[in-house]
Structure formats: C-alpha cells, structure tokens
Structure 1
C-alpha cells in the first residue's frame, strides 16, 4: 500500500480521479498488478516487524516529505504556504479540494488525502538554498560554520549591489533550466567576503520571491504569511530578508523539522490523539514572526537587479 501523495509522484497516478492512469501505465509498460493500493495519508498501513522497534508498532500515516512539512506547519487551509529550506528549498501552497493548473511552470500535486477527500497544492522547488552556504564554507572557505554567513551579511556594505545566482546545477522553478550556471555579479574592488556572504543568503529570498510571484499568478489569491522551516530558517538575517523582499510576514516555528512533525500529526489523528487536522495548529509552537521592514522602492530595485542577474545566468 501507499498513500495519495506518494502515488502522485510516480507519473502513473491520475491526481484528479484518484486512481492509477491506464494510459500512463500503457505508455510506460507498467503492469497494474505490481502497483500498490492507494490509501489516505492517515490510514492503517499495518505494523512494523517487532525486531526493528521492539514491538509491533502500528503504522498509521504515510506521506511525501514536502507534503508532510505542509501538515507539520499546520497549513491545512487553502491559501496557506510553507517554505522548507534545506540543501534545496521547497514552497507548497495549499489550494484546497480543486487542483490548480499552473501557467508558470509550477507543479500541481496532491497535498494530502483525508477520509477519501484530496487536497491539492502548487509546488515550486529551489535547487540551491543551504547548498549555497555550504559552498561558502567548503568551496570558498570564507566561513567556518554556516551561522557565520549571517554575521558577515550583517556587516556588509549595503551600497554594493552584489548578486549570487546559485545555479550550480541549473535553476529550478519557474525557470527549469539545467544549462544555467552560477554567477556572482556586481563585484567591485571594494567587494569583500561580507558582500559575497550577503549575496548568497539573499539568493534564497530572491528565488523564493520568484516562486511566490508564480503562485500568486496561478492561485489568484493573496498570500498573507509564509511559514518557514528547515535548517536555513534558523538564520534570523535570512528570515528577515525573506520577509523584506516578499513584503510578507515570515512565521518560524520553534521546531524546524516540520517534515517529521507532519507525519506525527497525521499518525496522531489516525490514532485518535487529535480530533481533526484543524487541531494541528494548537500543537504548532511559534518561535518568531519576521515582519517586512524594507521600503517598497528599495525592494523593487533590489528585485530588478536579481532579475537581471538571472537573465545573465540563463
């Protein structure tokens, strides 16, 4: 057995009908007999073998990792958005019970399935988020640990318009260009590691705005807040810039491992620990809300510079 979120990632599952697609099975020559039964995200999936955990523990949820982070952030209502920043970055916008096709090269996917009812999401992926900070540390050797990047960025010369487009392996949504390559632009004789570190952290905010702009266009509604998690969310400097460049508050929880939290929420609901998904918000603990502080003219000037840098990378 599997669940609807995992089935939706196989290219073989009709996410609208909620069943394996005969045309796709024929196209890929996959016999239907080898495919698992598709169940709800919160459902009974058997028990673990006792030798692994010391007991036959019931398995009561199964979910894809980014969808699990969506639930872990209690984004269970249409219009709610979560952003997870690990090595890469992933934004999911809950669009409710109707799948929203994207005109901006985002992915339409199953967000979760409760009691046979599916909710959908728009998803955009960033190839390089935390990986860019790792490059500062391991490639350029200008920091010894990730936390130092924010300290350098805070000490940088804001008058220098240095941009980092981290297309080390191409650019993800909404560009989807595997041939693009990373670049640093705007460097002058006065540029130091401070400005390079700032540009690396800002690239996460700029890439997120690219996705948010695409989501707003596809969704047609307002995005009131971004709920951020993952390792990079620990950086106050990065989260503040994210709020500034998006002109949207960024809500960071105390626990940054929202993927694990989401699976636990789903299993807990199936086990009867929670009355329903709406109760997940009661268990989510907020750490800090970052509100936009940047003026609009500065925000748009910086973003235009980013768009020009991306054009050069492409």
Structure 2
C-alpha cells in the first residue's frame, strides 16, 4: 500500500523536501540553502548542479527521517521558482553556464528596446506578460549572444534548456524526460497563450531556436519515473507546478474569483479567472494556473520581486537584525515609522509599474530615526506594494476583493498580516501551515496517481488566524496618497541620474 507523497519544493534560496501522508500532514522534511551568485548588481545566478545535488540530498534525508522505504511513496510532486533558466549539454549532462535567476535584470535594456518596438505589445498580447527581464526567452537571447559554448552546443544540436522543474525531472528520470509543466511554461515569456504552443515567431525574432525547448505536460501528469538506483526503487513523478500556482491551488482558490497572496522572497497576488483567457491591460500578468485533464485554468497575477528579500537585506545588507523573525517585535516596539517610508525597489519595481530602473529609496530620515523605524517602514513598504498590485487586480476584474488567503514565510509575521488587512481593506486568512506551495505540488501528484480525489482536497488547509481591518478609510487613503507620491519619485531612477 502506497502511503506517502514526496514533494520537492525548490525555491529561490534553498531546496526543501517534504513527505505528506494521506491526511495532508507533513511527516518529515529537510531543507538546505544553496549559493546565491551576484557577479554584478544586475545579475543573480544559481549553480544548477548544486541545486540538483542538494535536491537529491534533502529527499534522501526526508525519507530517512520519516523512517519509510521508497517503495511506500506513491508519487513525487515538484514545485519550483519560476522562469529561472538553465541550459545544459544533453550528452555530458553538465550545465553550460550558471542558471539565470528570475530576479536577474541584465536584459533590462534589451527589454526596453523590444517594448518600444511593435514586438512589445504583440508579445504581451500573446504571452500575457510585459516583456521584462523575467522572460526566460530574454535570458536565452543573452546566453546565445554572450556564452560561446552555449551557441556552439545549440548549433551542434547538443543543448537543452528548461526551468528548474525541467532540469530536475531530466536528471531524476535518468535523462529520459525533457518536459515542463503548463504553469511553468506560461511564465517563461516564451509561450503563446492564444494558440497554446511555444511562441515560435517571437523566439525566431530573438534568435532562439524552439527546438531546445521542452515538451509541455499537464501539471498533474506523467513525467516518467526516477531511475531505480536514485532512491532505491523507481518512483513516478506525477506533479510539476510553478510555486505561486501551487499555492493558489492548495489554498482552495480553485473557483473563479478566489485569490491568495504568497509572501516569500517576493510577493505574488494571484486571482483565479476561470477557463477563459483574459490578457490584462492593467500591468498584470496572465498565466496558466494549472492544466488538469483537458481543462486549463487561468489566473491574473501581480508580483513584486522584493518583499521577503527586503527583510533578508535588513539582515545581510544592513546587518540590523540577526533573524527575519525579529522584525515583528521590533516593528511593534514603536508606535509608527516616525515619517519614514521605504520603497523596497531593490531590484526595480514590478507590477503594475514594471520599471526595472526604479531604485530602492528611504524617505523621511531625521535625527530621531531609529533602526526600529526603518524596520517598521520596510514591512509597511512591502504591504503598500501589495496594495498597488491589488488595486490593479480590482480595476481589471471589476470586483472588490473582500477576502484573501496568505501563505509563505513572511505571512507568519503578525505585523505584516494585520497591516495587509488594514491597507488592503480585506479579510486576511492565514492557514495553520504556510507551506502551501509544497501542498499544491503534493496534490497535483496525488490526483494523477489516484492517491487523492478532488473531493479529498476540500478543506485540506485549516485556518490559523483571520485578520480584519482596524484602520479607517480616511487614514488608509491618506497613507496611500503619501506612498503613491514616494513611489513616483523612485521611478525611472537610472535615467534621471
């Protein structure tokens, strides 16, 4: 009797393996960070081989920690950081360069040129995304133009590319399956949502051959099996879903109009818009939420790449905290930010501005400013950015959201959760477990292999706490008016210097 689902939750800063039982309980987990390479201010890279090796390591440790045999695992589900691009040699199995991470902005100038041409709007209406550095297709263009070994391997027919799910699956199946899930394909800036295929015309324009792209497979589908000696016996891989989409699914946002915010390294607001494709005109992204069976579900998404990582910057950059968890108590230790406003544009500003030239700015510093004020302003700045995104979602959908579910590490912070309820003017529901991405991947795998039914998934996530607004409309509007002015001053910063 198969009793468990193994999940690989491969994030931006580390890899986690989780083992779920039939009751959706995590019986064992293991986590390892991996190296962040920043060779320049505009570059963020990962070592794909390090990610794979640590992924297998955490899986083995989680299995051992659970005290189970690999034969008891019904299936593997994978969820991953999106759009990060890997190119490797299919003969040697070695990456041909570091993976370019979704936070990387090295292609900003090229993106701007494309957006100013006829291709900007043309590509947006097909891919659902404003052409930006997060486009995997733009990363591929950079690889081909700047890494001779990649260009040569492509010309010889020896190169393959993919996102992190593709890379892991290819290796785990003994180099047999070169595939990507629909959810991950839809966030590469390479997928034609209208015609439901790789956007060959745009890739041809960029000089990127579609032949190196993986096969697109259902998020709940057949990705082959792990090779026998990897874990002791072959295990089917039946789920692969992008992290934000996994969280949307796990948070029971499976009906049109329901939504969630995942607060991790970045923050992502996703709203299920059902089975009809809608391309946003409000600076949002349209994505495939998931494909199960013959049915595609779409979502509107707004994201900010620097939210949780702004707290990480407080720790690693400024050195004013030792652990992210300290920020809640420190923020609560002062009545307000003493006029300090921090726009956390440490990697530009994402939706709805999409300005990679914006720069992080702290306003209102006086001799009375303390570390606590800056920390509080950082957390408040994260919430203000979420309001920017929610406003765009409500304008696009013509629906006033009254409730949102939250997950991700930063959602554990009560100060952040309460300020979200205050500034977004919604009821904020936080589940007992904020590991929604892992659960979504487990559910995709479990559905395909018959471990669970859709009926089983109802109420899989139990609520921990509900936050409601404690702020007046007048106070909210005034604070947001000031914030909007400060954001305006941060835009187009590079060109103004």
- Indicate the TM-score class for this superposition, using the shorter chain for normalisation: over 0.9
Which of these residues, 71, 74, 81, is aligned with residue 249 of structure 2?
A: 71
String of CA shifts for 1:184-240, please: whole Å, max 9, x gaps: 112233222221111000111100000000011111223221211111111011100
Partner of 1:206: 384
1:141 counterpart = 2:141: no
Partner of 1:307: 484
Partner of 2:423: 245
Partner of 2:261: 83
Partner of 2:20: none
Map 1:212-291; keep pairs closer than 5 Å.
212-276=390-454, 279-291=456-468
Give 5+ residue unaligned stretches, structure 2. 1-178, 492-497
String of CA shifts for 1:61-116, please: whole Å, max 9, x gaps: 12112211211222111111121112211111111111222112111111111111
1:38 counterpart = 2:225: no
Partner of 2:204, secondary structure, is helix
Cα distance in 2, alignment partners of residues 128 and 32 from structure 1:
31
Cα distance in 1, alignment partners of residues 355 and 200 from structure 2:
31
Deviation of 1:267 (Å): 0.9
Cα distance in 2, alignment partners of residues 179 and 26 from structure 1:
27
Partner of 1:297, secondary structure, is helix
Q: Relative to structure 2, which stretch is displaced further, 3-12 or 167-176? A: 3-12
Cα distance in 1, alignment partners of residues 221 and 407 from structure 2:
26
Cα RMSD, aligned residues only: 1.8
Q: Relative to structure 2, which stretch is displaced further, 21-30 or 225-234? A: 21-30
Map 1:61-210; keep pairs closer than 5 Å.
61-158=239-336, 160-210=338-388
> Is contact 2:337-2:376 (8 Å) kept?
no
1:51 counterpart = 2:229: yes
Cα distance in 2, alignment partners of residues 101 and 27 from structure 1:
22
Map 1:3-42; keep pairs closer than 5 Å.
3-29=181-207, 33-42=211-220
String of CA shifts for 1:226-264, please: whole Å, max 9, x gaps: 211111111011100011100001111122121111110
String of CA shifts for 1:156-198, please: whole Å, max 9, x gaps: 1327222101111211111111221111112233222221111
Q: TM-score, normalised by structure 1?
A: 0.93
Cα distance in 1, alignment partners of residues 190 and 317 from structure 2:
40
Cα distance in 2, alignment partners of residues 32 and 282 from structure 1:
41
Cα distance in 2, alignment partners of residues 22 and 196 from structure 1:
47
Cα distance in 2, alignment partners of residues 17 and 109 from structure 1:
14
Closer, same or farther in 2 for the Cα pair 1:157/1:114, shift >3 Å? same
Partner of 1:110, secondary structure, is strand
Deviation of 1:13 (Å): 2.4
Closer, same or farther in 2 for the Cα pair 1:163/1:51, shift >3 Å? same
Cα distance in 2, alignment partners of residues 29 and 135 from structure 1:
37
Count of aligned positions: 313
Closer, same or farther in 2 for the Cα pair 1:39/1:298, shift >3 Å? same
Higher relative contact order (CA 8 A, sep 6+): 1
Closer, same or farther in 2 for the Cα pair 1:310/1:31, shift >3 Å? closer
Q: Relative to structure 2, which stretch is displaced further, 155-164 or 104-113? A: 155-164
Cα distance in 2, alignment partners of residues 159 and 91 from structure 1:
25
Deviation of 1:48 (Å): 0.9
Cα distance in 2, alignment partners of residues 92 and 106 from structure 1:
10
> Is contact 1:5-1:110 (8 Å) kept?
yes
Closer, same or farther in 2 for the Cα pair 1:86/1:159, shift >3 Å? closer
Q: TM-score, normalised by structure 2?
A: 0.60
Closer, same or farther in 2 for the Cα pair 1:307/1:33, shift >3 Å? closer
